[in-house]
Amino acid sequence: MKPAPFAYHRPTTLDEALATLAADPHAKVLAGGQSLVPLLSMRLARPSALVDLNGLPGLDTIEVSEAGVRVGALARHAEVLASAEVRRSQPLVSLALGHVAHATIRNRGTTVGSLVHADAAAEMPVVLTLLGGSVEAASVRGRRTIAAADLFLGPLESSLAPDEIALSAFFPALPAGAGVAFEEIARRHGDYALCGVAALADGESVRAGFVSVSDVPTVVDLTGVPAGERGEAALAQLDPQGDIHATATYRSELVRVLTERVVQSAMESRQARSPEDS
Ligand code: FAD
């Protein structure tokens, strides 16, 4: 199938892009196109116009500071994954990105686009939520910071307004002495996960985030829960559903097994992480 007709804009300044979006409530932002173009081709999305961000200067940045990692709207998954500085500051970002799609898709798809797309089967929304990160958005009305906890409203639904552009995402650095881990099960490498788990162990605090298990990224507090009981404790706070990819029973079993394994590995990496890594 071919997309329904749409106008195409390729602005060269942010102001022009924001004004174009403000003038047409049915226009959509185009970043890497790896999720939007398939939706257009299947006619599941029929925007009146596309506002292509790829001509805008200064959005392809990856900035690493003591506070964490700021990824610009045009930084590709592959560039973020390749950054040794990112891996040092917040290893969970790199661990999870290694599971995002295939290399060709990572070369074009953007990490910020993945967050705005708000797919609960995607890795990065869960990572942002678990780490307590945020997204910086702009519109003709001004700029605002949206905390991860307020970003994901439902399946493929973020709290970004139709006329807003997400300029960057911020992933807080891993605190000294903390540990992280990520693992997922997919039918083939590069497929969306049937179930994925990210874990953050920081001092006594232990939390885990789940991919493909609920409609929005969900984080469960497992502080104080002993090994062997973590999978069941996580499951008690989740309600995995069945779909064409996996039954609810199988997905629940993946939650049990992966939670135990990933939390254990985050706790071990906490001990293994040397002070120079932080
Ligand atoms: P686009 O496709 O350009 O846009 C996606 C949506 O976000 C659109 O609604 C667009 O309007 C909006 N948008 C994008 N950027 C902005 C912005 N800066 N401001 C405002 N709105 C914006 N992803 C995974 O996480 N895990 C996977 O395993 C995975 N597997 C994949 C397998 C295949 C075969 C394909 C085709 C894709 C897969 N993806 C997967 C999706 C991929 O990660 C996309 O790159 C990502 O979801 C969207 O990024 P994008 O830059 O391509 O966004």
**Does residue 197 surpass a pLDDT of 60?**
yes
Atom 4 of ligand 1 has which residue's CA nearest to it?
36
- Residue 75 DSSP label: -
The mean per-residue pLDDT over the stretch 90-104 comes to 97
Q: pLDDT class for 275, splitting at 50, 70, 90?
A: low
Work out which ligand 1 atom sits closest to the CA atom of 193: 28
Question: Which parts of the chain are beta strand (E)?
Answer: 7-9, 27-30, 49-52, 62-64, 68-72, 134-139, 142-147, 152-154, 157-158, 165-172, 179-185, 195-202, 205-211, 218-221
**Does residue 51 surpass a pLDDT of 70?**
yes
Of 131, 149, 172, which residue sits at a domain end? 172
Ligand 1 pocket test, candidate residues 114, 134, 153, most atoms within 8 A of CB: 114
The mean per-residue pLDDT over the stretch 100-118 comes to 97
Ligand 1 pocket test, candidate residues 51, 60, 116, most atoms within 8 A of CB: 116
Atom 39 of ligand 1 has which residue's CA nearest to it?
101
**Does residue 88 surpass a pLDDT of 60?**
yes
Q: Which is it for strands 27-30 and 49-52: parallel, antiparallel or unpaired? A: parallel
Work out which ligand 1 atom sits closest to the CA atom of 137: 19
Atom 38 of ligand 1 has which residue's CA nearest to it?
101
- In sequence order, the β-bridge partners of residue 181 are 199
Domain holding 207: CATH number?
3.30.390.50
Judge if 207 and 259 occupy the same domain.
yes
Q: Does residue 37 form part of some domain?
A: yes
Model's pTM, two decimal places?
A: 0.96
**Does residue 66 surpass a pLDDT of 70?**
yes
Domain holding 17: CATH number?
3.30.43.10
Residues 6+ positions from 34 with CB-CB distance below 8 Å: 101, 105, 108, 109, 113
Measured from CB, residues less than 6 Å from any atom of ligand 1 are 28-36, 38, 53, 73, 100-101, 105, 109-110, 112-114, 116-117, 122-124, 160, 165-166, 192
How many CB atoms are closer than 10 A to CB 30? 21
Judge if 34 and 14 occupy the same domain.
yes
* Domain count for the chain: 3
How much is the pLDDT for 1? 78
How much is the pLDDT for 220? 98
How many CB atoms are closer than 10 A to CB 178? 19
- Separation of alpha carbons 25 and 161, rounded Å: 10
Mean pLDDT of the chain: 95
259, 208 Cβ separation under 8 angstroms: yes
Q: Does residue 1 form part of some domain?
A: no
pLDDT digits (tens, 9 = 90+) for 207-266: 999 999 999 999 999 999 999 999 999 999 999 999 999 999 999 999 999 999 999 999
Q: pLDDT class for 277, splitting at 50, 70, 90?
A: low
Work out which ligand 1 atom sits closest to the CA atom of 111: 49
Judge if 44 and 89 occupy the same domain.
no
Of 40, 55, 70, which residue sits at a domain end? 55
Ligand 1 pocket test, candidate residues 21, 56, 105, most atoms within 8 A of CB: 105
User: Which residue type is seen at 126?
Assistant: V
Question: Which parts of 120-204 are beta strand (E)?
Answer: 134-139, 142-147, 152-154, 157-158, 165-172, 179-185, 195-202
Residue whose pair of structure tokens reads 């174009």 in the numeric block: 20
Atom 11 of ligand 1 has which residue's CA nearest to it?
29
How much is the pLDDT for 106? 97
Q: Does residue 278 form part of some domain?
A: no
Domain holding 137: CATH number?
3.30.465.10
Of 141, 172, 203, which residue sits at a domain end? 172
How much is the pLDDT for 199? 98
Could you give the C-alpha distances from 94 to 88, 99, 145, 268, in angstroms and in order? 9, 9, 23, 18
How much is the pLDDT for 246? 93
- Separation of alpha carbons 267 and 224, rounded Å: 12
State which residues form the domain around 191. Answer: 179-273
Residues 6+ positions from 175 with CB-CB distance below 8 Å: 202, 278
Judge if 195 and 259 occupy the same domain.
yes
Judge if 145 and 203 occupy the same domain.
no
pLDDT digits (tens, 9 = 90+) for 16-31: 999 999 999 999 999 9
- Separation of alpha carbons 233 and 203, rounded Å: 20
Two tokens, residue 183: 């693992």
C-alpha gyration radius of the chain = 19
> What percent of the chain has pLDDT above 70?
97
Give 188 or 48, the one with higher predicted confidence: 48
Ligand 1 centroid–CA 116 distance in Å is: 8
- Residue 11 DSSP label: -
pLDDT digits (tens, 9 = 90+) for 149-177: 999 999 999 999 999 999 999 999 999 99
